[in-house]
Structure 1
Amino acid sequence: MLNYARQTLKKVPSFQELLQGKMGSAKEEINVDVLVIGAGPTGLGAAKRLNQINGPSWLIVDSNETPGGLASTDTTPEGFLYDVGGHVIFSHYKYFDDCIDEALPNEDDWYTHQRISYVRCKGLWVPYPFQNNISMLTKEDQSKCMDGMIDAALEGRVANTKPQDFDQYILRTMGSGIADLFMRPYNFKVWAVPTTKMQCAWLGERVAAPDVKKVMYNVIHNKAAGNWGPNATFRFPARDGTGGIWIAVAKTLPESKTRFGDHASVTKVDADGKRVTLKDGTVVNYQKLVNTMAVDSLVQLMGDKELTTLSKGLFYSTTHVIGVGIRGERPERIGDKCWLYFPEDNCPFYRATIFSNYSPYNQPQKDVKLATQQLANGSKPSSSEPQEGPYWSIMLEVSESSMKPVDVKNILKDSIQGLINTEMIKPEDEIVSTYHRAFDHGYPTPTLEREGVLTKLLPSLLDKDIWSRGRFGSWRYEVGNQDHSFMLGVEAVDNIVNGAVELTLNYPDFVNGRRNVERRLVDGAQAFSQIRAVE
């Protein structure tokens, strides 16, 4: 059990320092029971739970001025909002729902949407998920996909081994037709590694396994399948984008226990001495550490050569987020679409989000006057005078890795051309705003080597009283959504304080398989007994 002594100590300057006039540079030293590094959803989940318990002394630090981490939102000079990738709110946890509803409690704080999502394939818009909607393809492609699906179903009946990688999983559940037409090219564009180098334990509810009989029925009757998946209905904040949620959550915490900004960057982690040094020289002594920065960065700051070498077995991709703001009424061909998938090589992006459809406040209002920067085909506009809207916007995502290089210099131009190639925009459309930002750690890749690294790395850190959690803190994409990430922080704190089981980290299939089941923290033991009952 933690010693809940609360004290903040100031380093007393030495006589020599006083003589040298260095009194003003004396560094602060802080003692806390729990230090939280990072104010993304995981760090804020940990801080929220610590504040609710009102037992251990704690502090949360982040190098950014505003909280949110990889769930933050940028605003362009012209007034267009873009998230760090495609984020929406859907939840597996009542506790998570309660916390964000406390932060944004009003009905007009949110919009609720039915997902309208498609795959662009050979000039057609195929409803998502692709494998359930091959009825929308040409007869030739339908035949190839059905042949592969039937072969896979027959092979699955006699197979006595599990798939060894993601590629084998695709072939065994969907067949070669769907694999070649969509799954292989699309997943390479997303993950920036071939499907043969990825494991399949992460899949859970993220990839729909088709029902051959239903697919065949829909092909014969030329019908589309209904909505599938946990995000078929989702919420989005009315104002300030996804980042606005986490800014609001942070405001429910005592300001005295938060330190945000470049001065609060972590420059050194002394795991043995349980001391963290910040950029401004502040030293934080802790008993327990909840880390949410990328675990490969953490072990480097620790100066631990063995763990640093081990962490090099983890693979990740960089995400380029590109935004295009356009003048004019939203085209009928775009309609109420939410996000769209692009497996083909006629565009560099793997996903496009019609960000203006999520909220009318994600772009400038109609009466705002903006100058046209260029036409979509790259030519200069006929007039440089600012004019009124209306406006709409598209957010694009492009992945990059050592296995999938990107022409960063031309990525914006190539993306706009990709929008023309896929008939998302027309060559003469007026572009009034553009945005591009690269996020070095974008996707934590579930490679074949991942578990071998994590089963050694995370316990080694835990032995040093470091709970490394979050999208890149624990490197498990299958529990990397906002609700998962938040609860990873909450459950880490509960484990620190009372030894509660960390369900999300250790039992991802359980938490993903019981959507909307109320998991109050006091019911942790009951939830664990449910796991044991179904194992």
Structure 2
Amino acid sequence: MITTEVLVLGCGWAGITTAYYLLDKGIDVMCIDASTALGGLLRSETHDGFIFDVGGSHIIFSSNEPVLREMLSFLNNNVVTHQRRSFIWLMGTFIPYPLENNLHILPLELRVEVLVSLFESLLQLSREHGLRPSNLREYIIYTFGKEMAKLYLEPYNQKIWKRPLDSIDIDWLSIPGRLPLANWKDIVKSCVGLPTIGYREQATFHYPLSGGIQALYNSVLKKAVAKGLKLVKGVKIKGVKRCRDVWVVNDAFKAKKIISTIPLREIVNLMDAPEDIVKLAERLDYNSVAVIGIALKRKAPNMHWVYVPDEDVVFHRYAWVSNYSPHNVPNPKRHSSLLVEITLSPRDKVLLEPEKLTEKTLNGLKDLGIISESEKEVLFTKVWTHKYGYPVHTFQTNKAREHILKFLSDYGITAVG
């Protein structure tokens, strides 16, 4: 039986960074991952000279300067810096993102409606002392006003969550950067045509110059291995049990401490957990994500990514990842690449039909005028699906998650990621 001080279950980004910082403190660490191709949602693949980030469009940014410096230090000089050029496809045109900072592009009458509805929400909050949003729909309306909610934020979030927005809790909004906050002064300036910059911490972002987003993961992995990380690849975790003062995994690995980065639904089923905890784990809701990579024989437009709230288009976002780095394609003057993201309910059977996902994606891109009807510029496509894409924070799941995390903590397992 192989013995270690700390055993990390899962070796994606959360797992490898946890291992790295523990090793930095002189702690003996082993990482186990079911895949032989490491990287998790930060994995990149190369096909015919095109590099695709299989977990979707990922960039490097943070409002925390020390954290940002640390991430960039891992890459050394293998980094390129961009000023964000992202858009929202709305009313048949590309409006720069965030919408609230670019309202001057909208027709005058609509701008007035947006501004009036925002101040109606602000007045309601000021008059009704103690009034606070209790769900995501109320949060959007109170923060941005009914008109902006109806125009963009409600339809877009509906595509992301696949649930009624009034069933989504808002505790996750306390995490900095998860949803950009509106500044009413910026909205007023935007309505009258004065330029403002929204979501400032993301306005400048970074990306690996070569190797795709996995270059960030690989740089930490290399440093962790140099510090003595013991790495086990291609081993699926089948059982986790407590034997006196040690943990035993798969009857093959023994550790004093376990840190789990695998989904809570999965770790609970791997343990001899009480029936009530198992039932709570079944309540944890999530959405799956499909990522479609498209190689094109044409130059990319001057864009990074585009949000698509249109309910008739299957995807919610697409990204010109060839603009993230010129090394993501064979020749940036003649080639480009797209990553298209589709949120799916776990009950959606289309998750199991890559051909149908590709067909719906290409049809959506045609509808937006991104590719031609003949698809003659499409060289090839790839599809990757991820069962656990987004945790869905409903009121029911939040209580279940709290109980499960407490159970794991009391049992001696730390859950991260």
| TM-score between the two structures when normalised by the length of structure 1 | 0.71
Match of 2:371 in 1: 425
Match of 2:344 in 1: 400
Please state if 1:275 is matched with 2:244.
Answer: no
Which of 369, 391, 399 matches 1:444? 391
Cα deviations by residue, 1:223-249 (Å, 9 ceiling, x for unpaired): 443242321111100111111211221
Shift of 1:314: 1.6
Match of 1:251 in 2: 222
- Partners of 2:145 and 2:393 in 1: CA distance: 22
Cα deviations by residue, 1:134-164 (Å, 9 ceiling, x for unpaired): 2222234323322321211111111222111
Which of 157, 161, 172 matches 2:126? 157
- Name which of structure 1's ranges 116-125 and 441-450 shifts more when overlaid on structure 2: 441-450
Match of 1:210 in 2: 182
Asked if the contact 1:119–1:342 (Cα under 8 Å) also holds between the matched residues in 2, the reply is yes
Closer/same/farther in 2, CA of residues 402 and 103 from structure 1, 3 Å limit = closer
Which of 345, 349, 357 matches 2:323? 357
Match of 1:25 in 2: none
Cα deviations by residue, 1:393-430 (Å, 9 ceiling, x for unpaired): 11110001157774744211111111121122233441
- Name which of structure 1's ranges 457-466 and 139-148 shifts more when overlaid on structure 2: 139-148
- Partners of 1:357 and 1:192 in 2: CA distance: 30
- Partners of 2:105 and 2:347 in 1: CA distance: 32
**Where do 1:136-535 residues align within 5 Å?**
136-159=105-128, 160-204=130-174, 205-220=177-192, 222-254=193-225, 257-262=229-234, 264-271=235-242, 274-278=246-250, 283-304=252-273, 305-330=275-300, 334-335=301-302, 337-365=303-331, 390-401=334-345, 406=350, 408=353, 409-428=355-374, 429-470=376-417
Closer/same/farther in 2, CA of residues 171 and 415 from structure 1, 3 Å limit = same
Q: Unaligned regions of 5+ residues in structure 2, if any? A: none
| TM-score between the two structures when normalised by the length of structure 2 | 0.91
Asked if the contact 2:292–2:358 (Cα under 8 Å) also holds between the matched residues in 1, the reply is yes
Please state if 1:87 is matched with 2:58.
Answer: yes
Amino acid at match of 2:340: L
Closer/same/farther in 2, CA of residues 329 and 77 from structure 1, 3 Å limit = closer
Match of 2:102 in 1: 133
Asked if the contact 2:44–2:214 (Cα under 8 Å) also holds between the matched residues in 1, the reply is yes
Asked if the contact 2:22–2:29 (Cα under 8 Å) also holds between the matched residues in 1, the reply is yes
- Partners of 2:279 and 2:339 in 1: CA distance: 36
Q: Unaligned regions of 5+ residues in structure 1, if any? A: 1-28, 367-388, 471-535
Give the structure with higher Rg (CA): 1
- Partners of 1:94 and 1:213 in 2: CA distance: 26
Cα deviations by residue, 1:176-200 (Å, 9 ceiling, x for unpaired): 1111111111001112222111112
Asked if the contact 2:95–2:105 (Cα under 8 Å) also holds between the matched residues in 1, the reply is yes
- Partners of 2:80 and 2:396 in 1: CA distance: 40
Amino acid at match of 1:139: L
- Partners of 1:444 and 1:176 in 2: CA distance: 26
- Partners of 1:102 and 1:147 in 2: CA distance: 46
- Partners of 2:362 and 2:141 in 1: CA distance: 34
Q: Aligned residues, how many?
A: 408
Match of 2:408, SS?
helix
Match of 2:386, SS?
strand
- Partners of 1:396 and 1:70 in 2: CA distance: 15
Asked if the contact 1:37–1:62 (Cα under 8 Å) also holds between the matched residues in 2, the reply is yes
Asked if the contact 2:125–2:132 (Cα under 8 Å) also holds between the matched residues in 1, the reply is no
Closer/same/farther in 2, CA of residues 156 and 100 from structure 1, 3 Å limit = closer
Asked if the contact 1:317–1:443 (Cα under 8 Å) also holds between the matched residues in 2, the reply is yes
Asked if the contact 2:288–2:343 (Cα under 8 Å) also holds between the matched residues in 1, the reply is yes
Match of 2:411, SS?
coil
RMSD: 2.3
- Name which of structure 1's ranges 68-77 and 432-441 shifts more when overlaid on structure 2: 68-77
- Partners of 1:303 and 1:401 in 2: CA distance: 29
Match of 2:3 in 1: 31
Asked if the contact 1:124–1:137 (Cα under 8 Å) also holds between the matched residues in 2, the reply is no
- Partners of 1:208 and 1:95 in 2: CA distance: 21
Please state if 1:45 is matched with 2:17.
Answer: yes
Asked if the contact 1:115–1:234 (Cα under 8 Å) also holds between the matched residues in 2, the reply is yes
- Name which of structure 1's ranges 79-88 and 183-192 shifts more when overlaid on structure 2: 79-88
Asked if the contact 2:9–2:15 (Cα under 8 Å) also holds between the matched residues in 1, the reply is yes
Match of 1:169, SS?
helix
- Partners of 1:446 and 1:464 in 2: CA distance: 24
